[in-house]
Amino acid sequence: MAIWLPNYKKVVVSTNRTGDYPRHPSTPGRIVLHTTEGLRLFDYPYPPHFTLGLAGGEHSLKAGKYWTPAGYVTLAVGDEVKHQHCDLNLTNYALLHRSGDPETNHEGIHNVGVEIISMAASPPNWSDRMYGLVAGWLADVVRAIPSLTPALDNYPEKWSAKGSWGFSTPYRVSWDTWQKGLNGLPTLWGHQHVPGNDHWDPGALDIVKLTRMAKDILGGGPVVNPWRLNVIGRLNQHDEELATLRQRVVSLEGR
């Protein structure tokens, strides 16, 4: 059965490539975040599943009339763009796939892509409402596909617009990690992390803030990201070492 989310405008053009069936359904699902790198609505032949935007925002669309392949859309200040272009049971075509490379768009039981109308340099300046729009979309996606819920706590530690352009960067993961997912689980990726691609979007996204907001919308969530647990564990270890050191100092002072 096709999955089209309620409260999202269906914007589909039959001449566009609007999805395919997963080619590696045995690997974990994934969500990939993009920014459009141009303040425009959907007007490209290889669409993602969704386009999101906020009209009148400093780092998003201006209010006005916009052309899309499905007709004109008029946006007033404060209007939200929530468009769906592809059945969620299909994969999308928003990622680069070079001949001879492993799968990008069609990897995983679910491979959900979104274009956020913004620039890769903009996320540090996004308003709470802009973060809320994207967080609300994430919550809607995992409600529709519950198996993707672990992705809200399973994502790369580093997100940046600096040094993330190109096919070989510290941010781009290996093909093995892309295929199997971080920790072998459904994963939330940025375009900047996908191997075989060279884009840097969505930039320095505050991924902790975004996923926390999504989980708040859902009324709670899974455990925190494993890399954060690792950091917390190290801090606790250091606290124990400091406590032991303090006891030794007190003991020495008492002599």
User: Whose CA is closest to 158, among 197, 97, 194, 207?
Assistant: 207
pLDDT higher than 50, residue 125: yes
Q: Is the pLDDT of residue 31 over 60?
A: yes
Highest CATH level, class, for 9-222: alpha beta
- Statement: residue 191 has pLDDT above 70: yes
Instruction: Say what the pLDDT of residue 254 is.
Output: 54
Q: What are phi and psi of 176, to 5 degrees?
A: -60, -45
With cut-offs at 50, 70 and 90, classify the pLDDT of residue 248. low
The closest alpha carbon to 110, from 36, 21, 44, belongs to: 21
Sorted by where each begins, the domain ranges of the chain are 9-222, 224-255
- pLDDT tens digits, residue range 130-149? 999 999 999 999 999 999 99
Provide mean pLDDT across the span 41-68.
83
Tell me, rounded to whole angstroms, the distance of Cα 149 from its chain centroid.
13
Euclidean distance between CA atoms 24 and 105, whole angstroms: 10
pLDDT at residue 50 greater than cutoff 80:
yes
**Residue pointed to by tokens 């009209």:** 55
Please check the confidence at residue 91 and state whether its pLDDT lies above 90: no
